[in-house]
Structure 1
Amino acid sequence: MSVRVVVPGQLYSYTGGQSKLDADGGTLGEVLDDLDRRHPGLRFRVVDEHGAIRPHVRFYINRAAATSLALPLAPGDELLIVGALSGG
């Protein structure tokens, strides 16, 4: 099953500059695991060592907020990863 993943600029160093990727998995967590296999380190940027979504990251599945790694995805879904920006 393939899901389209839109990656924020903060993660381009992990994706080789790619902003859109395809990944496999039946849940948000499985998709992130698949991405991490092909782009090592990416998952740790968005999920902490306890398996919780980092506070500065938001996920959207087909434009609906996703707050759990257990949320299901279907073939053709779009996963948008959004990272907060800070600075002054």
Structure 2
Amino acid sequence: MSVRVVVPGQLYSYTGGQSQLTAEGTTLGEVLDELDCRHPGLRFRVVDEHGAIRPHVRFFINREPALALSCALADGDELLIVGALSGG
């Protein structure tokens, strides 16, 4: 099963500048694990050491909010990763 992943600019340094990736997995957590195997460090930027989604990150599966790593994905789904911008 293949999922299209849209990556925000904040993570380009982990993806070699790629804005779109494909990944395998049936849940959000599985997809992030698979991406981290190919792009080390990416998962830690969006999921903390306790396995919780970081507060400044949002995930959307087919434009619907995905609030847990257990959210299901199907073949052909689009996973959008959105990172908050901040500054002073």
- Which band: TM-score by shorter chain? over 0.9
**1:62 counterpart residue number:** 62
Q: Which runs of 5+ in 2 are unaligned?
A: none
**Separation in 2, partners of 1:38, 1:2:** 15
**1:36 counterpart residue number:** 36
Q: How many residues align?
A: 88
Q: Which runs of 5+ in 1 are unaligned?
A: none
Q: Which amino acid aligns with 2:52?
A: A
TM-score (normalizing by structure 2): 0.99
**Separation in 2, partners of 1:15, 1:71:** 23
**Separation in 2, partners of 1:25, 1:10:** 23
Q: Residue 30 of structure 2: SS of its match in structure 1?
A: helix
Shift of 1:39: 0.2
Compute the RMSD of aligned alpha carbons.
Answer: 0.4
Q: Once superposed, which parts of structure 1, at least 4 consecutive aligned residues long, lie more than 2 Å away?
A: none
Report whether the alignment pairs 1:84 with 2:84.
yes
Identity %: 83
TM-score (normalizing by structure 1): 0.99
